[in-house]
Chains A and B, each alone.
Chain A
Amino acid sequence: MNAENTIPSNTFNGQPKKFVTWLFVLSSLMCFAGLTSAYIVRKAEGNWKIFDLPQTFYYTTALIILSSITLHISLTNTKKGQVAKQKNFLILTILLGLGFLIGQYIAWKELVANGIFFSGNPAESFLYVISGFHAFHIIAGLLLLLYALAGTSSKINQTKNIFRMEISAIFWHFIDILWIYLFVFLLINR
């Protein structure tokens, strides 16, 4: 049987890969569900330090919400074929994302200044681990956005361009909503 030349050539279908992204989101959600459940279980055992969350978290939350909006605008422009606008809003999104990261770092410094240490009471450690692990996701999200940005300048076709944008958007909106959940969770369960 001659195998190599008999496959029909196909058009690109992004659906299964988009689904892969959703599943990745799900597994990452389970990771945070694990961390936050551990938080609750541990807190219920007592000996739990109570302290204020850093003020900076409010600003970074605003930044990340803004970045979701700009990404959405970029995506709608992608679908309309407006490459220039797509690019500008994408760059804006990336900058806002970087701003978020820097903000989280400042928030950590604020914590240290307030005497909240990574190796202190588990209440303190949990805050660092949860926000740090989220920041790790932001870095991954930024890499995805850069990948989409690279697509705007290279010769990939429009279908692939939209595909990359959609993948990045699924992930980025997820980590945005995830942060809001984590922030509210931390506020409620101090």
Chain B
Amino acid sequence: MSDHTTHHTDSHDAHHGAHHKETFISKYVFSMDHKMIAKQYLITGIIMAVVGMVLSILFRIQLGWPDESFPFLEKLLGKWAQGGRIDPSFYMSMVTIHGTIMVFFVLTAGLSGTFSNLLIPLQVGARDMASPFINMLSYWLFFLSSVIMAWSLLIESGPASGGWTIYPPLSALPKAMPGSGLGMTLWLISMALFVASALMGGINYISTVLNMRTKGMSMTKMPLTIWAFLLTAILGVLSFPVLFAGVILLIFDRGFGTSFYLSDIFIGGEALPNHGGSPVLFQHLFWFLGHPEVYIIIMPALGISSEIIATNARKPIFGYRAMIISLIGIAFLSFIVWGHHMFVTGMNPFLGSVFMFTTLIIAVPSAVKTFNYLATLWRGNIQFTPAMLFAIGLVSLFITGGLTGIFLGNASLDINLHDTYFVVAHFHIVMGSAAMFGMFAGVYHWYPRLFGKMMDTRLGYFHFWLTFIAVYCVFFPMHFMGLDGVPRRYYSFTSFDFMKEWLAVNKFISIAAILGSLAQFIFLYNFFRSIFKGKKAPQNPWNSNTLEWTAPVEHMHGNWPGEIPHVYRWPYDYSKPGHDEDFIPQNVPLSQTMSSNLPGDYGTHHGAKGAH
């Protein structure tokens, strides 16, 4: 590989500070190196994922066996599970914190934080982020916010319990229910820090991609991962501040007597002074973030799988341009569909049909992406690495979950489906599981770049198949429950006759969920063991084209010794006819590959215009 590394004068990097001495603190704790920050994000994300997973198992126990008592629950949860049965309000708290942790802490910060940090500088050819200091701050704010969120589980009055969407009035009135007090306050503090962290991270990613690409890396020579991270960051920078605005108003309603969201409320027969507010206003502000947020979660996963599928199918990605255009289309559209979460709030039916129209259009770019994945796989020389399996698994889940989105996007069908298990099935498959699969794919694929070691492949296969089967067993049956009208966020299904027939299904789901979560320990074992005991990683284990595989395996400040490699071609020259190897890294000049060059390679093919 090293003969591919070319040397030129490097005109644009703002790296300074390569010569200072490193202490333990500056290397492992307050590190400003993007690779270390990526690892910090990943490990914090994994810990939060375990917390979220344990919560889900606890409430699945309640759902699967609503009439039985489990003494170990009382030992574990104390007063929240007296007599071995989970307390209803603590059930709501666990659902809320589970959702919040998974959506924000694992699949937003854990996913983007890890892979944008690791890959943006390495794949565009930069020494580090635009502002390493802000990058460090971003991680530590995230850390603090994780600690506060986790701590809120332990407080006397219990954590927030109004759902991850924190609709007022439950979130606005500290007296509304146990979780509305201190628990909700901690939730708000934690999320305020989280938003600040996400903004700092996102701003850095955008600036780095737009300003610090190496010579030759034009926008249309960037790997699709980078396009996905860039658009994800743009969505974050545009939508998180709106949530912040909504939350500010909520905080004033909670503590300072304003009435933005509150009106004519009675607690215990007593009228509150609040007058003139509108709870639907909060929903608008929340979902203006909330919908882009779901794409903030899925887009990095889509980018990761584009890269992994092309590499492991040993084929150029099908429709590179179309992939970029659909990502841009999805990003744009995601700002004008938020109303589909509010079809049943008494929205004007005409407005409802506008939101329905924009929502259904999103299916078009999503379908384009799906077809391109399948076309890339078609007749490829597929290498079934664990990363590849997870990437293919993502495609499967994205199709399954995308189809149900079309049902939900229909304003009249949604009258039946809203707030049922159908929605739970939809978003767990299309967002939760698909993005989680993208994250696993990314970890298996870039582990050699993160830790300089290889993960165990056989354990990876076990992990994949068990997880894949479990996900379908857990979430697929939920569609039918939802069609039957079983509501989401319910403590007990035993109080209504029509739900009783679903008890057996619930038991099945709970068992599948427990087995599926046990399978995650295979991953955890593999992950942590390989850090110390894994095989040493070769320079380019997957014979990949992108720049990160030209950097030394051993991490160093500034990523490359000497000059940053220049880029001469797009990242998907796999199995190019006429070339003896089945891959040509981006930093190999055309002059070295005369036998395989195509007429288009010299001109405006892929829109390349040399340096930006």
Contact = CB atoms under 8 A, between A and B. Distances in A.
Interface of A: 1, 3-10, 12-17, 19-20, 23-24, 26-35, 37-38, 41-42, 45, 47, 118-119, 121-122, 125-126, 129, 133
15 contacts: A7-B558, A8-B10, A13-B14, A16-B212, A20-B203, A24-B203, A27-B203, A30-B241, A31-B242, A32-B245, A38-B246, A45-B278, A118-B252, A122-B276, A133-B248
B265 to A, nearest CB: 15
Interface in B52-74: none
Contact of A23 (B16, B206, B259, B552): B206
Interface string B526-565: 0000000000000000000000000011111110011100
B455 interface: no
Contacts of B130: 16-17, 19-20
Contact of A7 (B18, B134, B257): B18
Given A1-B561, A16-B131, A31-B244, A9 B18 contact: yes
Contacts of A34: 241-246, 285, 288
B4 interface: no
Given A19-B211, A38-B284, A119-B258, A10 B241 contact: no
Contact of B563 (A8, A31, A35): A8
Interface stretch (B100-108, B232-240, B376-384): B232-240
A38 B10 CA distance: 48
A51 to B, nearest CB: 14
A38 B14 contact: no
A41 B258 contact: no
B211 A30 contact: no
B524 interface: no
A34 B281 CA distance: 11
A28 B281 CA distance: 20
Contacts of A13: 12-14
Given A16-B207, A31-B241, A41-B281, A6 B14 contact: no
A32 B245 CA distance: 7
Given A9-B16, A12-B16, A26-B238, 14 more contacts: A3-B554, A3-B557, A9-B18, A14-B14, A15-B14, A16-B208, A16-B212, A17-B207, A23-B203, A27-B203, A29-B241, A34-B246, A122-B277, A125-B260
Nearest to B558: A7
A119 B281 contact: no
B237 A38 contact: no
B211 A27 contact: no
Nearest to A29: B241
B177 interface: no
B191 interface: no
B555 A10 contact: no
B449 interface: no
A37 B278 CA distance: 14
A96 to B, nearest CB: 27
B522 to A, nearest CB: 33
A42 B281 contact: yes
B588 interface: no
Contacts of B562: 6, 8
Interface of B: 10, 12-16, 18-19, 127, 130-131, 134, 199, 202-204, 206-208, 210-212, 237-246, 248-249, 252, 256-260, 275-278, 281, 284-285, 288, 552-558, 561-563
Nearest to A28: B241
A97 to B, nearest CB: 23
Nearest to A126: B260
B276 A47 contact: yes
Given A3-B555, A16-B131, A23-B206, A125 B15 contact: no
A42 B253 CA distance: 15
Contacts of A121: 259, 275-276
B508 to A, nearest CB: 43
B242 A33 contact: yes
B18 A17 contact: no
A29 B237 CA distance: 10
B135 to A, nearest CB: 10
Contacts of B212: 16
B233 to A, nearest CB: 9
A125 B561 CA distance: 57
Contact of B248 (A17, A20, A29, A129): A129
Contacts of B211: 15-16, 19
Given A19-B210, A20-B131, A20-B207, A118 B258 contact: yes
A26 B199 CA distance: 11
B16 A38 contact: no
Given A7-B557, A30-B238, A34-B285, A23 B207 contact: yes
Given A27-B199, A27-B203, A129-B249, A119 B256 contact: yes
A10 B14 contact: yes
Contacts of A31: 241-242, 244-245
A47 B212 CA distance: 52
Contact of A122 (B15, B243, B258): B258
A4 B258 contact: no
Contacts of A126: 260
Nearest to B260: A122
Contact of A42 (B208, B260, B288): B260
Chain B CB count within 10 A is highest, among A3, A7, A31, for A7
Contacts of A41: 278, 281, 284
Contacts of A29: 241
Contacts of A7: 15, 18-19, 127, 557-558, 561
A10 B11 CA distance: 9
A71 to B, nearest CB: 23
Chain A CB count within 10 A is highest, among B13, B239, B276, for B276
B15 A10 contact: yes
B249 to A, nearest CB: 7
B256 A118 contact: yes
A1 B552 contact: yes
A19 B134 CA distance: 13
Nearest to B562: A6
B212 to A, nearest CB: 6
Contacts of A27: 199, 203, 237-238, 240-241
Contacts of A42: 260, 278, 281
